[in-house]
Amino acid sequence: MIKHKGFTLVELMLVVIIIGILVAMVVPRMAGRSEQARDAVAKADVDLNVATALKLYEIDNGAFPTTEEGLDALLAAPSSAKNWKGPYLEKKPLDPWGKVYLYKSPGTHRPQDYDLSSLGKDGVESSDDIGNWEK
């Protein structure tokens, strides 16, 4: 008598069903997390990464770049720079949605230094914007 080793069709179906149930429980929890991660990256850029580069520029040159010079002043020396020691960033800062950060100095929300913001996912001024004046 020959005995075949292997799984029966019923056993295989049970495994597939169990994997399907696990996927059905995990996937909904993961949905929406990518947008939360993009928001967190934009907030970190606005509050830390680009902000640190701007502060280093200000320490070296005595003032923040003007609105006209913008964030490009962190990559190449503008004509107004007195003691430029950059580049302060490795590449042009883009938000997680691939758009440039908005920069204004002196700022409207923070007239003592600058406003730095991302327009968020929709790319227009709205409630999903992320700015350095928000806490």
pTM over 0.85: no
How far, in Å, CA of 74 to CA of 58, rounded? Answer: 10
What is the set of domains in the chain, with CATH numbers? 49-77+85-135 (3.30.700.10)
- Which tokens go with 135? 């806490």
Provide the strand spans (E) within the chain.
102-104, 115-118, 130-131
Tens of pLDDT along the chain (135 residues) come to: 667 677 777 878 888 888 888 877 777 666 667 778 888 899 999 989 999 999 999 999 999 999 999 999 999 999 888 899 989 999 999 999 999 999 999 999 999 999 999 998 888 788 888 998 876
Task: Quickly tell me which residue has 């680009």 as its tokens.
Answer: 50
CA separation for the pair 77, 81 (Å, rounded) = 6
